[in-house]
Amino acid sequence: MRAFRHALFAVRRYRGCLLAEPVGTGKTWVALAVARAFSGEAACIVPSILQSQWRDVARAAGVEITLTTHEQWSRGARPLGSGLVIVDESHRFRTEDTRRVAHLAPALVGRPGLLLSATPVINRLADLIAQLLLFVRDDALAAFGIESIRSSLTAHTAPQALHHLMVSGTIAPGGLPRKTSRWVTHHGSEELLMSRIERLQLSKDPAIRTLLLGGFALAEASSPSALLATLENYHLLLLQRRDADRNGRGPSRATIRRMLLGDLEQLVLWDLLQPESCDGADLTLADLPVLTTILPDAKARSATSDSKVKLLQTVLSDGRPTIVFVRARATVDYLRRILTPRSRVAWCSGSRAGIGSSHLPREAVLTWFRPDLSSRRDLAPTTLVTTDVSSEGLDLQRASRIIHYDLPWTHARLDQRLGRARRFQAAHEEVEVIGFRPPPELEARIGLLEALRDKRTLPARIGLRPARSRPPAENQPAKFAASEMGPARYSFVRTDGFSVLLAVRLLASGKEVSNLVLVQDRGGYWSETVAAARSALDAAHAALPSSWNMDGARRALDQADARIGQFVLRTAGFLWGVRSLSPGDRQAIARLSTLASKAFTRRDSRLLFLVDRGFRLVRRGHTLGEQCLVNQIGLGKSGAALSEQLSALPTHLDPRPPIQVEVTGMICTAPSGQGTVSDGFRYLAHDD
C-alpha cells in the first residue's frame, strides 16, 4: 500500500516515478493500481516476451491497457494509447543514444508515466538519467537544492532527494522465499584451446584483438559448442574477408561483432574503438591455416561431455525443479543434447524452445515452470535451460533453484535471474542459488568476477539496498519537523550550549517544499548539521526556561538573515527557474529572441503567445522529449515550420510559485528583558 501511495503521489507531483522494488514483489500490480487511480487506463511498453503476462494481470486488475513492445519502439515510433504510460523493464532505456529512446522520448512529451525496474542501475549511476528524464523534468528536484538531475547523477553517490522520484524498499521481504547461495569452481581437466587460439593474429589493432580474445575466452568458459560456433563464425568471416578483398571492401565492424560476439554479451567498449568501416584491417587472412588445425579439435570436444557439464549433472541429480541460465544459444543446444538422455529437459533460447529434441512454442515450455501447474506434474520437466531471454519479468515460481551456469557481466542480471523463482506465491519456501565460477585460467583472461565485484555497490548508491558505507547521518543537513523542538519551540533558555537554534521552512502555493534547522554556537558560527541540532536540542531540554525577549529574537533573526538568504537561493531560486543552460538552450533562446522582435513589429499576438511559451519551456528543466523540441527550435527553421514547432510545445508548465519563508521554531540563550512565549510566536509566525 505504501508503494502505491508513494508512486501515485510522485506521478501527480513530478509526472513520473521509478518503481524499483525487488524482483518478484508485484510491481506490475502496483503500476496498474496507480494507473487505475490516476486515469483508469494505461499505455504499457513492455518486452515482447511479457505481453501475454501483462494482458492477464491487466484483465484481473480491471484496467484497460494498450500494449506496445520495446522491440517495436526500436524499429520506430508507435501509437501510445491513452492514460498513464507504464514502461516495464525500464533499464532497457538507460542509454540515450539508442533508437528506442530516440523514438520514445518525443512521444512522451506531456505524458505522465511509471518506470518499472528492479535493476535500474546496470553499469553506472548515469544509467538512471535517461530513464527518469523520459517523464520527469531535469529540474524536478529543484526545491531540494538539486538544480539538475542529470548533473547530480554524474557524482559518485546519488543525492538523497532522489527518493522523491523512486519507490524502493517499501515491500517487506517476508513474503518471499528464503535465499541460500553457494559457489562452485569448475576446474576443467581438458587442455584449454585458448592456448592455441592466442597464437592467432586476429587483428592489426591491439584493442580489437584483445576484445576478440575475450570473446573466445567467454565462449570456452561457456561450453565446447559455444567455442565451436564462435570459431566457425570467425572462419566464415575470414573467407568472407578474402572474397571481399577482391572488391576492395572488408567486413564491417558491426558484422564482426554480430558474428563473433553478439551472442556473448561482449564489453560495451567495442563501440568506442573503431569507425563503422574497418577497411579490411580488422581481420588477418594469415589466421586461416592455423584455424583449420583448431576447428577439428573443437568439433570433437563439442560432441562429448566436458567436466563442467558433468558437475551440472551431479547438481541436478536430486530432481529439484531448476532453471539453468547460460549465455550462448549454442550452450543451450549443447546442454539439452547432453542432459536429455537422463531426463526431460526443457529449453528456451530466443525464438526457439522445446522439451528434449522436440520443438514447442516458448509459452508452452515456460508454462511447465509456472506456479499454477496443476495437471500431470509427474510428466513436468524438472530442468529448464535458457538464455537471459527468460531472465526478466517472467513468473517461474515452480523452480526452487537457480544455476548461473554462465555468469553475466552485471549484478543486475544476477538479480533478474533470481527473481524468476524468488517471487510472491512461490511454490517453495527456499530458493537455492548456485554460481559456476570460470576456471582460474579463463577468469584471468576474462576478469568476469572482478567486474561483478565492481558493480555490486551500485544499487546502494541510489538507496536501493543498505549501503555498507554511508556518510554519517550527523554530517547531513538537519531537516526535521519543528515539533521535535518540544512544546516550547519559541522560547529563551539559560544555557551555554549554543546561542540560537532556528527552524525555517519554505512554502510554495501553501505547501512545504523544504525545511532547515540552523544552530549558532557561542562564537557566532552557524551550522546546519544533524549533530549540531541534536546537541543544541539536548542542551535546551536540560536548561532552565527564561522569559521571552522580543528584541533578542529580532537580533537573532538579523544574525541569521544571511544564512536564511542562502537557503532561499539554493532552493526557491531553482523553483524560479535559475539554472544552467545547455548549448541547445542558448541557441533556442537566441532564435526566440529574434522571433519575438519580429512578432512585436508585426503585432502578431498569436506568435507572441507561442514565443512566450517557448521562453518559459527553455528556462525550465526538460524531459528528453522536451529537449528534442528545444533543440529543433534552435536549428533555425522559420515561418510555418517554426510556428508548428512552437505549437507542439507542452502546455502543462507549472507557473513559478510564490515563495514564503516561515520561521517555525526558535530557541535562544536568555538575555535580559521581558515578554511572553505567546508574543514571540505571534511575531515570528505572522508579522515577519
Residue 341: give its domain's CATH number.
3.40.50.300
* Predicted local confidence at residue 526, as pLDDT: 86
* Predicted local confidence at residue 248, as pLDDT: 58
More confident site: 161 or 668: 668
Dihedral pair phi/psi, residue 287, rounded to 5° = -75, -15
Indicate if 276 and 384 belong to the same structural domain.
no
Indicate if 157 and 206 belong to the same structural domain.
no
Q: Rounded mean pLDDT of the chain?
A: 79
What's the pLDDT band for 66 if we cut at 50, 70, 90? very high
Instruction: Say what percent of the chain tops pLDDT 70.
Output: 79
Range with top average pLDDT, 327-341, 440-454, 664-678: 327-341
499-528, pLDDT tens digit by residue?
Answer: 898 888 887 766 777 788 889 888 888 888
Indicate if 414 and 371 belong to the same structural domain.
yes
Range(s) of the domain holding residue 443: 178-185+306-457
Indicate if 390 and 492 belong to the same structural domain.
no
What's the pLDDT band for 533 if we cut at 50, 70, 90? confident
Q: Indicate whether 277 pLDDT > 70.
A: no
79-90, pLDDT tens digit by residue?
Answer: 888 899 999 999
* Predicted local confidence at residue 492, as pLDDT: 87
Residue with cell 528536484: 141
Look at residue 607 and tell me if it is in a domain: yes
Domain count, the chain: 5
* Predicted local confidence at residue 298, as pLDDT: 93
Nine cell digits for residue 483 = 515539533
* Predicted local confidence at residue 253, as pLDDT: 58
Indicate if 52 and 88 belong to the same structural domain.
yes
Indicate if 517 and 498 belong to the same structural domain.
yes
Look at residue 519 and tell me if it is in a domain: yes
* Predicted local confidence at residue 474, as pLDDT: 42
Domain end marker among 171, 205, 229:
171
Look at residue 653 and tell me if it is in a domain: no
Q: What is the pTM of this model?
A: 0.63
Q: Indicate whether 477 pLDDT > 80.
A: no
Look at residue 288 and tell me if it is in a domain: yes
621-656, pLDDT tens digit by residue?
Answer: 889 988 888 887 777 666 667 777 777 777 665 555
Indicate if 287 and 330 belong to the same structural domain.
no
Domain end marker among 282, 302, 322:
302
Nine cell digits for residue 211 = 576484445
Indicate if 339 and 450 belong to the same structural domain.
yes
Sequence letter at residue 650: P
Look at residue 104 and tell me if it is in a domain: yes
Sequence letter at residue 264: L
Indicate if 139 and 231 belong to the same structural domain.
no
The dihedral built from the CA positions of residue 461, 467, 472 and 473, taken in this order, carries a sign that is positive
Look at residue 468 and tell me if it is in a domain: no
Look at residue 366 and tell me if it is in a domain: yes
* Predicted local confidence at residue 445, as pLDDT: 85
Nine cell digits for residue 151 = 548533473
Burial class, 26, CB count within 10 angstroms (exposed 0-12 / middle 13-18 / buried 19+): middle
Instruction: Say what percent of the chain tops pLDDT 90.
Output: 18
Measured between alpha carbons, how far apart are the two ends of the chain, in Å? 41
Q: Indicate whether 375 pLDDT > 70.
A: no
> What mean pLDDT is predicted for residues 346-363?
85
Look at residue 590 and tell me if it is in a domain: yes
Q: Indicate whether 472 pLDDT > 50.
A: no
Region of poorest pLDDT, from 9-23, 96-110, 566-580, 646-660: 566-580
What's the pLDDT band for 463 if we cut at 50, 70, 90? low
Domain end marker among 137, 171, 205:
171
State the CB neighbour count (10 A cutoff) for residue 118. 24
* Predicted local confidence at residue 324, as pLDDT: 94
Which residues touch 390 (CB under 8 Å, ≥6 apart)? 49, 323, 325, 348, 366, 384, 396, 420
Indicate if 369 and 427 belong to the same structural domain.
yes
Helix axes 605-618, 624-633, angle to 10 degrees: 130
Range with top average pLDDT, 184-193, 525-534, 675-684: 525-534
